[in-house]
Chain A
Amino acid sequence: MARTATLPGAPTTKLGKAGYELDDRMLVSPWLRRTLNKVYPDHWSFLLGEIALYSFLILLLSGTYLTFFFDASMREVVYEGSYAPLRGVEMSAAYDSALTLSFDVRGGLFMRQLHHWAALLFVAAIVVHLLRVFFTGAFRRPRETNWLLGVVMMVLALLMGVTGYSLPDDLLSGTGLRIISAILLSVPVIGTWAHFAVFNGDFVGEEIIGRFYIVHVLLIPAILLALIGLHLLILVKQKHTQFPGAGRTEHNVVGNRLFPTFAAKATGLIFVVFGVCALLGGLVQINPIWLWGPYNPAQVSAASQPDWYIGFLDGSTRIFPAWDINLPGDYNVPALFWPTVVIAGAMFTVLALYPFIERKLTGDTASHHLLQRPRDVPVRTSLGAMGLTFYIWLMVAGGNDVIADKFDISLNAMTWVGRIGVVILPPLVYVLTYRICLGLQMHDREVLEHGIETGVIRRLPHGEFIEVHQPLGPVDAHGHGTLAYGGAPVPKRMNHVGGARRAIRGFFSPIEEPAQVELEQRAEGRGLAAGEERELTSSGRPIDTGRPSDGGRPQEPRD
């Protein structure tokens, strides 16, 4: 509209005019301003999910590059490329093209390794993000949907990994494929049918690489993209959770606005994640497929392990006892079924349903936007630690042959260590974590009640030595702090409450005047000098109320 151009305050610069014109057509400014003004809480643990998102971005980019060269076919060819030791060897076209990519494409090996490292980081970031959400209770109402989406995406990420590392058709991935085939076969009743549907016949057939390929590059990425979009949409709609603290309530978010602070930090993080993946991809060799050789069903190498995130299934399979269940009519349920399909299924089901289980058990159906410190929810924290121990122990058991070899331990003994450990360790960790949580809680309460230990020893007139404690707030007649615990970290050292002046900035030489900093701190009322004054008036309690509070013996006679 011509009218708007003449309004006072209308932009006069070219860019400003262009922006005005754009908004005249698209009406984007309300949305844009809302987005730029959106407040993000400022805590490092909120970046974990972002790392997963950015590694997924790397995976999409590097993966697309890889498809330009990869030939997902099991056709037999004879290798004629640069890698001399394999020249003249019969192999599948998939393996051949993966070798060509590694040796005859400029920078191809770098891209392949970058892709593989980004995949490992992707799953790792998802897992750590999930742990953060779990241990802080961020999955509670109203965020159950996003928790469910997250668990589904994690399972998809695992499937991504499995279908991805099966593609090069080297000896290691072929061995993995053989085990996948056996797992499919082990499913009761429909196992053989499922196997024939997936492999188009008996192992190994001609189809499987091509099928895994399309699942890996199209199906799962498309679903993942859609779910990531939904995950973020819900996140923006529901706004972030935050840790309790000064001014933070269930009805606000305290932090930085998207623009410019948060946007700059997030962009910085993208580049850091990209950079780390590039460093790993170039400097740290991963999956050197040319050393494994082409897949041959009659060959295998020792220490055949999957990527780390599938290691727990390998471990559970290794330590599960040889228990076939024979049913009447010559049917049976193979031992392999339990440690793979059942354990994985049960683990992910319990994980997905956890918010609902907890809601049922605690009866807590209220909405929560403030996070919990793990110590304040000892049962959940202990359950989480228990599950984590179970998972990690299975992963360790997945490497029992390597441990046995490197430390010269009997392999069978390692298997038994795995079997016994998986039964004993999780409950043990539960009890330990529970005790630690209670201990930490008690220490918080103690400091709130009796103040921070100052390290200053005083001798009372009758000869008793006591340590002076710095109360965190107002105290009652006995010298006990009256501050209630608010779910936020309690300062435990004098430096946390400004007991010492902050450090002078500068690495090799100071770039600030110490006196200036002193003045500045005094002005803010929390420098060393201010602290000293406070100590004299409030914690030098012998003068006021008789004695400082010294944990545990408040009823001592006053002097």
Chain B
Amino acid sequence: MTTHDTRPGSTGGADVPGPLYGGPDDDYTPEQLAAMSREDLDRLGARYDGVEILHVDAGPEPGSRLEKRAIRQVGLTFTLAGVFAFLFVLVYVGSGWFLPDWHWEISEGGWSALFTPLLGLLMGLSLLCVGVGLVLFTKKLLPHETAVQDKHDGSHFDRVTAGATLVGGWHNSGLARRKLITRSLLLMGGGVGLMLIMPLGGMIKNPSKGNPLGTTNWADGVRLLRNDGTPIRPGDQEPGSLETVFPAVPGGNRQADAATMLIRLRPEQVESLRPREGHADFAYGEYVAYSKICTHAGCPVSLYEQETSRILCPCHQSQFDVTQGAKPVFGPATRALPQLPLGLDDEGFFVARSDYIEAVGPTYWNRERI
């Protein structure tokens, strides 16, 4: 055939079908194809796709012991998959109907404790059987063929022609010469892009405004309350004990930064008490109060070992010494836990004398400046 004949759109206006889509129909007439066996057709198509079948290990011989055995195995696995699946349905639907209720009961160790495990077991076994059956089928009954497929590098022709089309479009647009359009496009792109992301500005909030990061609800005269809302007097706690207290404001015990540890020191701890600079009068007698929020990553420091006067944060194991102004003595924390100045109100209950004089919680860039 000449190039003229195959040129697309070269029929001179007549509505004539072009060559068939895809395969080499000109080389193989329908009659030739009809004369070929199924295997030959399969191989022919494969070869056309660059695939050569090198070697076929036929599956087990039909009717042989090997085949019967494999069929039994695969059939049994698929049967089991079905049985387990129906059992799953049975347990799922039947619980609370003809089987005991599946709802969890605090005292019960029976059916309700078995319900979830049974669901998992039955569904798991069923699906595993499907998978194993398929693999067995593939391995034991299908012929094993080894095929090889060609791997081609890119075509130079394609690259050059595609490139020519692209460059042609760019060239015809004249954007390289028509500078006004390029510049206005740049401005347009920048402006439209910026405009489209602008609504995200709704997420931006000024963290320095009102300073919620640096302050808590503690203030002069605010009582120290336990989690259940009761106030505390000196003498309520055993020496060596720790109690978590919250500011006496609405919702104080749900506030993320206000949780405070009120610690009654033992006499020998009081003797070795060395408050930090500027915190000399923050303690009340043998009572000291430190922020519970770790200065490292903000976890509540909860584990108090009174023999060593140490408080441990369970998240990253920072340790603070309560007799040294809760200074960090080990681990990744760098700052002491802020101390709350303690006092008593007219009725003899503990109150704060002011908010913490430094920001509680994790360190951040401009913490010192707040």
- A residues near B (Cβ < 8 Å) are 7-10, 27, 29-30, 33-34, 37-39, 82-85, 103-104, 106-107, 109-110, 113-114, 175, 178-179, 181-183, 185-189, 191-193, 195-198, 200-204, 239, 247, 250-257, 260-261, 264-265, 267-283, 296-304, 314, 317-324, 329-336, 339, 367, 369, 400-401, 411-412, 415, 505, 511-512
Contact = CB atoms under 8 A, between A and B. Distances in A.
Contacts of A329: 369
A38 B149 CA distance: 7
Given A82-B104, A252-B148, A336-B362, A203 B298 contact: yes
B contacts with A: majority SS: mixed
A400 B125 CA distance: 36
B147 A103 contact: no
B333 to A, nearest CB: 6
A30 B22 contact: yes
In the complex, which range does the number of interface residues on chain B fall in? Answer: 35 or more
Contacts of A260: 138, 142
What are the nearest 8 A-B pairs in CB distance? A282-B120, A279-B124, A9-B34, A271-B131, A268-B134, A275-B127, A275-B128, A298-B259
Given A202-B213, A332-B363, A37 B51 contact: yes
Interface in B18-48: 21-23, 30-31, 33-34, 45-46, 48
A7 B30 CA distance: 6
Contact of B205 (A27, A197, A268): A197
Given A332-B367, A335-B334, A268 B138 contact: yes
B345 interface: no
A319 B330 CA distance: 10
A276 B300 contact: no
Contacts of A332: 363, 365, 367-368
Nearest to B313: A300
Given A114-B120, A332-B368, 20 more contacts: A39-B51, A39-B149, A83-B104, A185-B364, A196-B204, A197-B203, A202-B212, A275-B131, A278-B127, A281-B124, A282-B117, A282-B122, A283-B121, A297-B293, A300-B300, A302-B314, A317-B297, A321-B332, A401-B314, A411-B312
Nearest to A263: B138
5 contacts: A39-B51, A264-B138, A282-B121, A297-B255, A336-B332
Contacts of B297: 178-179, 182-183, 317, 336
Contacts of A319: 332
Given A37-B46, A251-B151, A323 B334 contact: yes
Given A200-B203, A282-B116, A511 B69 contact: yes
Given A182-B296, A202-B213, A330-B369, A271 B128 contact: yes
**Residue of B34, B95, B330, B362 most packed against chain A (CB within 10 A):** B362
Contacts of A39: 51, 147-149
Interface string B229-257: 00000000000000010100000011111
Contacts of A339: 332
A234 to B, nearest CB: 14
B16 to A, nearest CB: 14
Interface string B193-233: 00000000001111110001100000000000001000000
Contacts of A106: 92, 95, 102
A303 B127 contact: no
A451 to B, nearest CB: 28
A422 to B, nearest CB: 14
A334 B126 CA distance: 53
B49 A37 contact: yes
A229 B274 CA distance: 63
Contact of B298 (A82, A182, A187, A335): A182
Interface string B245-285: 01000000111110100000000000000000000000000
A415 B244 CA distance: 28
Nearest to B206: A196
Nearest to A329: B369
A201 B212 contact: yes
A189 B365 contact: yes
B124 A415 contact: no
A505 B119 CA distance: 36
A281 to B, nearest CB: 5
Contacts of A29: 22
A242 to B, nearest CB: 10
A255 B147 contact: yes
A520 to B, nearest CB: 12
B3 interface: no
A239 B253 CA distance: 61
A318 B317 contact: yes
B312 to A, nearest CB: 8
Contact of A257 (B121, B147, B153, B213): B147
A182 B333 CA distance: 12
B149 A252 contact: yes
A26 to B, nearest CB: 11
A278 B204 CA distance: 43
Nearest to A238: B151
B103 A279 contact: no
A285 B212 CA distance: 40
B207 A193 contact: yes
Interface in B38-64: 45-46, 48-49, 51, 54
Contacts of B21: 27, 30
A317 B316 contact: yes
B76 to A, nearest CB: 14
Given A182-B298, A192-B365, A330-B369, A322 B118 contact: no
B183 interface: no
A257 B315 contact: no
B158 interface: no
B51 A304 contact: no
Given A103-B104, A196-B207, A202 B256 contact: yes
